[in-house]
Structure 1
Amino acid sequence: MEAQISAVCQFCETSREIKWRCLNCDLFLCRICNSRIHSKIMSSVEHKIIHLDQCGTEEVVNNIRKLDFKQMKCKTHHDKTCFVFCRNCNQPICSLCILIIHQNHTLCEIDDAYEEKLADVENLKVEIKSNIAFITNEETLLQEDALKGKKHHMEIRTLILNREEEVKQEIARKSKDVSDELESEWHNTEQSINSDIELCLKTKSNLLKRKDNIHKILKSHDPRLVFDASLTDVKQLHLPMFGKRASLFQFFPKTIEAKGILGDLIEKPIIENITVYSIDMKCISCISHCEAEKVLICNNSEDILKKEDLNCDRFQTLKTLQDIRVMDISQTKDGHAILSVGDDLKILTKTGQLKTFLHVELITLCVHVNTENELFVGALVKDPDHWRGELGIVLILDEEGNTTCTFDKRKIVNDSDNDYITGCYDDSFDEDEEVDMFDFPSRVLNTKKDDILIIDNSNLSTYAGKVLLLNRSGDIVREYRGCRCENCNDFNFCPFDIAETHSNLILISDIGKHSIHVLGKTLITCSFVDDIGINSPLSLCIDAAGKLWIGCDMSADDDEEPKIYCITLN
């Protein structure tokens, strides 16, 4: 209650049964004074009388405020009361202010201005209340995230420590093996040396005895000793054959990169939302996002290309092209689609017109347009020597279709044990030093770091193959041949499509394992879609908003309804 209630009626000053308050007079009244005295005063006819139970309510506070602002004194002329509001200066003013300062300003009734300001304050109150609710909810979510994060942190920390212990045990085992090998070699060598030393001593002793005997014969005056001496043993004496001298081993310590041994700490993408769209194409071998919920999809086994609007209760086909085998699709910056079709690169305009963009003397397999409108084309070209059939090649073209770079040959520089090969492209290599870089480059992608990702399939019936990462010079920076985890040993790595998230993670659909591999510096996961009910992911696309679109292959399951998935990643 904003005012302290008087102990007695402020009219009669005797009654203690205070029941009423006059807001205008700011007096507390008893029942009798309110009904018999205060109500009969002519000037109090318009006074606002409230029951004590109403004191402190929002309505009463508003009434008091209204009474107070009508008596509000001018800040400039303290003896004057404000009665109008200046919109230019955004303040209440008195009559003198109008004459002196605010002559050409926009004025309004102070009551109107007050109601407007009060409405703004009320709106601000609602907004603040909403913000408080939002912040409270966020606080709750953050606290939940903190608990989950701490739990996850401890789990990862346990994994790291367990891995550390495994590495220590493995190093200890390897150290013991090498030490045991060294001890065994030295034991055998030492035994051989000791045996030879013993033989040396025995032979030397025998020779010394014979030497002494001969010395006696030569010193003797008796000629019979010379005739009796047995010279045969001396002439036929064979020195023993000793074993090889002790082997001198060397120990070559290997450089250990601890991070490579333990593993890498990389943020795994979090699925925030999944939208599922039904479609009538059982096998979506290529998907490309156009705008909103419009996508281009194709089935190159049935030679069908469609543009679909998925933003309907039932999808709506906007355009269908039959008898056209589209191997790959990529969008230009201005919203046109470049299609890989046989020995042509075709363009599908936003108005639905199909035109030939470029005719090339090779079989195009894939196409990618980067942010600079460069075209990356994977293709097959006939072998000029005829004996190898067709060779894989990757071209980089400018906007006019001129070839600026070609990748097709490499020289092996180093082949390590970890699926990594470094190679380079150089026209100066001799023919016998060159090897073909690609078998069947079915997908190509220019990454945000300006590297070139290529899916190279070596088996066209199963799509078994690998993923190559090249730099602009054509050097093979990395080869990825699939996951080596225990659950994947029975599956070939069959990469089909690639995409790059806004956070530079590489996604690879694998039709051998029916999964999506997520790569950072190392493999993050190869079971990205197993737990969320996506069957047979085939084609991939990341749209401008960073959402992942997945087209599936349901051709082997007549009962399964074909679908397109749109996944929002964090």
Structure 2
Amino acid sequence: MHPRRSAQEVLLCDLCKTAPLQSHCELCNINLCVNCAGKHVSDSSKRHNVVPFLHRKSTNYHKCPDHADKHCEIYCEKCGVPVCSTCALFGKHKGHDVSDILEKLSTKKESLQKDLEEFETRIYPRYEEMASDVQTEKAELETKYRKMTTAADQQGEILHREITAIVNKRKSDIAEMKNKHLAALNKNTDEITNRITELRQIIQDLKKILDSNDVSLTSSYKSRNSEFRTLPPKVRVTLPSFSPQKINKDQLNEMFGSLSPLSINTEHGDTMKSAEAVSSPPVKPLLDEPRLTATIDTGYRLLYSVSCLSEDQVWTRGDNETMKLLNLRGKLLTSIKTKSGNAPEDIAVTRDGDLVYTDNITRTINLVKNKQIQTVITLQGWRPLYVCCTASNHLLVTMVSDDLKQSKVVRYSGSIEKQSIQFDDQGRPLYSSGGYNDIKYLSENRNLDICVADCRARAVVVVNQSGKLRFRYTGHPSNTELSFNPVGITTDSQSHILTADCDNDRIHILDQDGQFLRYIHCGLFGPYGLCVDIRDNLFVANGDNKVKKIQYL
């Protein structure tokens, strides 16, 4: 008997082994005293469920199917099933590795608790968000289809007006021709009538002469028969005819306007990474002193953007229409000229390794695949600026309206618009506007935040995946020289946000919540576009028109 136990046995804490137990952790399946219970729940890595000992749930042991008087209080590691002591010592599980069923239960409950947490905090909210998105789309259906119906009515009215105008013009032309025809006939009738009147007078005069036997009248008479033998001219009018054209329904349909087909595609649902994969990337601490590991001469007069194809190959764009693929030694591997001959506004590399570029003059977003350029998106009323590719292989594009009064970020899956981000919860614009050449590089972070370097606003604007504003970063208080001037922006495997402060010749490193961590200098001058490769090497489009490769992790 325990020295501290009297006739009535006292149950002790499983941790300190000295104080009487008062509580029980149902997750870990251990008994706790008051002091140990407080320490136990302070471990925030688990969601402990500590209850009064008398309120604990009793462990429900299964009866052994082979030994009716035995309970399965042992866990066979090899077979992965609970077994009784007889089976473990003498039966079919003899010699197998075994463990305590309560310890196994505790471990399993921890795993179940993690599953529950992921369902409650990550998976279920995403399903709710998807359901909400579908409901929102359904709510907008009536308005969108009503707009199309109204547009069809308006086009019909325009065509009706045009057809009515044409009909009235034809009728007016017919009436005018009729009047001219009638006038010509009236004139001809008058001429003939006058000659008839004159003939009647001549006939009357001749009869009078013949009746009178007057020598003087007879001798003075001069014949006019030859004059009237030539009949007056007869007006001949060719009656106009109306030749209606056969109405071609196809041409009429084309003239009226086309209606694109309804496309209903069921995309494969995105597979969410596990909580461990999302929250626990391999830790790569920041170097105290970042190192310049390569310098690539691009040959541009002005260099603006760099985008990694691999660890040793980068796409670049500058002040002309040619985009260049270079290796770390600056060797030109491939060059592509834009379809329009305009300098591209920005470039990005897709998950498939294809090149994407924007052309704000032609309002297009273009894909270069196997050196062939395909225009995948043409905007109306907006001009595309900067572009990035997301983890789900979507495109995020910053754009400005034609009147320069609005800016937004739009997500595309292929050529289909999936999301538009423009205003905060109070209806205020998230991004500045004011010029076709507004600098708004952007990047998707590992936690799916969308980060925009809004140069005109002198701020990094970060929203979450649904477009809700998380924070604005306007520079570190140590910026005592020139104002913070964010240009290029990128993110890495540690969810760091890196942005190029062009005027101050340095790069700011922030954590995913916008907290400043440190600067990168490395002899930079006017850093502009940024990108990182799969090993978190940083590539900088520098002001000397060279790409700098920097190791900072």
Q: TM-score, normalised to structure 1's length?
A: 0.45
Q: TM-score, normalised by structure 2?
A: 0.46
